[in-house]
Structure 1
Amino acid sequence: MASELTIERVLTLVELVPRGRVVSYGDLGGIVGIGPRQVGSFMSQHSDGLPWWRVTNASGDLPRDLLDRARPHWADEGILVKRNGLGCRIADYRADLEALATAYRVRIADTLERTGTAIPHTSNPAARALAAAGITTLEELSEWRRSDVLALHGTGPKALGMLDLALAEAELEWRA
């Protein structure tokens, strides 16, 4: 079960996809640190009022029902449908992912400050490993399995013990 914070992160990122550009579910998942299927699930449940038509599969395609609804938006934004009629050429319309990730980090910082509990400092290697994985709050950490965090280069048993304690104090736990 995803936290409200993770859902908020995905939806914030969708809001930032520029007009006339698209990204894949995997592109968004890579920036947020979750899988593309989770992104798709969140989008199917929470995309009202968002530019959902700017999020496609890795090939730039959408299911027929969504494509039919996306076509007017794409036409308005200058996104052309491929000859096969399944979607757009994602290579031609993909947003600048580096710029998108930077804009996302700036926008989400306020949200994380308001809603997240900072991770305690463990060690420099562990802090770098967690940051590289996009884990900045205990709430985000609780969405990970303990074994997956231990597998991050730089995170050892001592750091994991400190994270165990911090999660328990915040009344959170590792994902099962």
Structure 2
Amino acid sequence: MASELTIERVLTLVELVPRGRVVSYGDLGAIVGIGPRQVGSFMANHSEGLTWWRVTNAAGDLPRDLLDRARPHWADEGILVKRNGLGCRIADYRADLDALATAYRARIAETLERMGTAIPHTSNPAARALAAAGVTTLEELSEWRRADVLALHGMGPKALGMLDAALDDADLSWRT
């Protein structure tokens, strides 16, 4: 189960997708640092009040029930449906992912400060490994299995021991 912070990260990013633009679950996952299926799961459970129609699969498609509900939103925003009728032309309407990532980092910094506990400095290779995996707080780290973090390139036993202690001090633990 994902932490409240991870859900907040995904939903914050969805809110930033501009009108008349779309992104894929994978696009969002790459910016947040999680998998596209996790993004889809979050959207299925937490999309009320969000511009969910701006998030599609990699081909720009949506399931039939969502597609029928998305069409009026797309028409209002000038997003055309593909000839096959299964979704939108994502290549034509994809949001600028670099600009989206920049806006997300600025917006999420405040949320991370409010909701997250910073990871202690370990070593530069370990810090880079965690950053590359999208892990920026102890709460996010607690969503990982210890063995998976140890397998990250750059993570060593000394850094892992420091993370064990930090999780323990914050009353958190590794996912089992």
After TM superposition, the score normalised by the length of structure 1 is: 0.97
Q: Give the Å deviation of 1:15.
A: 0.2
Residue in 2 that maps onto 1:11: 11
Gaps of 5+ in 1: none
Residue in 2 that maps onto 1:37: 37
**One-letter amino acid of the structure 2 residue matched with residue 123 of structure 1:** S
Trace 1:38-77 onto structure 2 (pairs within 5 A): 38-77=38-77
**One-letter amino acid of the structure 2 residue matched with residue 154 of structure 1:** G
Residue in 2 that maps onto 1:159: 159
Q: Percent identity, aligned pairs only?
A: 89
Whether 1:88 and 2:96 are equivalent positions in the alignment is no
Distance across 2 between alignment mates of 1:143 and 1:32: 14
Residue in 2 that maps onto 1:124: 124
Residue in 2 that maps onto 1:100: 100
Q: Contact 2:34–2:134 at 8 Å: present in 1 too?
A: no
Residue in 2 that maps onto 1:149: 149
Q: Give the Å deviation of 1:32.
A: 1.1
Distance across 2 between alignment mates of 1:12 and 1:71: 23
Give the CA RMSD over aligned residues. 0.9
Distance across 2 between alignment mates of 1:20 and 1:69: 16
Distance across 1 between alignment mates of 2:89 and 2:53: 14
Distance across 1 between alignment mates of 2:91 and 2:146: 36
Q: Give the Å deviation of 1:149.
A: 1.4
Residue range with higher mean Cα deviation, 28-37 or 47-56: 28-37
**One-letter amino acid of the structure 2 residue matched with residue 24 of structure 1:** S
**One-letter amino acid of the structure 1 residue matched with residue 130 of structure 2:** L
**One-letter amino acid of the structure 2 residue matched with residue 71 of structure 1:** R
Distance across 2 between alignment mates of 1:101 and 1:152: 23
Distance across 1 between alignment mates of 2:151 and 2:94: 32
Residue aligned with 2:85, SS = coil
Residue aligned with 1:49, SS = coil
Residue aligned with 1:28, SS = helix
Q: Contact 2:67–2:86 at 8 Å: present in 1 too?
A: yes
Q: Give the Å deviation of 1:33.
A: 1.4
**One-letter amino acid of the structure 1 residue matched with residue 153 of structure 2:** H
Whether 1:114 and 2:118 are equivalent positions in the alignment is no
Q: Give the Å deviation of 1:132.
A: 2.1
Distance across 2 between alignment mates of 1:31 and 1:109: 14
Residue in 2 that maps onto 1:2: 2
Distance across 2 between alignment mates of 1:117 and 1:18: 30
Q: Give the Å deviation of 1:127.
A: 1.3
Distance across 2 between alignment mates of 1:141 and 1:58: 28
**One-letter amino acid of the structure 1 residue matched with residue 161 of structure 2:** G
Gaps of 5+ in 2: none
